[in-house]
Amino acid sequence: MAKIAFLGLGVMGYPMAGHLVASGHEVCVYNRTTAKAEAWAKAHKGSFAATPREAVAGADFVMSCVGNDEDLRSVCQGEDGAFAGMAGGSVFVDHTTVSAKVTAELYAAAKAGGIAFVDAPISGGQAGAENGVLSVMCGGDSAAYELAEPIIGAYARICRRIGDSGAGQMTKMCNQIAIAGLVQGLSEALHFADKAGLDGRAVVEVISQGAAGSWQMANRYETMLDDHFEHGFAVDWMRKDLGICLDAANDTGASLPVTALVDQFYKDVQKLGGGRWDTSSLFKRLKEQG
Catalytic positions are 172
Residue 99 DSSP SS3: coil
Helix (H, G, I), strand (E, B) or coil at 70: helix
Question: Helical H runs in the chain?
Answer: 13-22, 34-44, 52-55, 69-76, 82-85, 100-112, 125-131, 142-152, 167-195, 200-207, 215-225, 235-252, 257-271, 282-289
Q: How far apart are CA 172 and CA 157, in angstroms?
A: 16
3-state secondary structure of 63: strand
232: left (phi over 0), alpha (psi -120 to 50) or beta: left
State the CB neighbour count (10 A cutoff) for residue 107. Answer: 24
Amino acid letter at 71? D
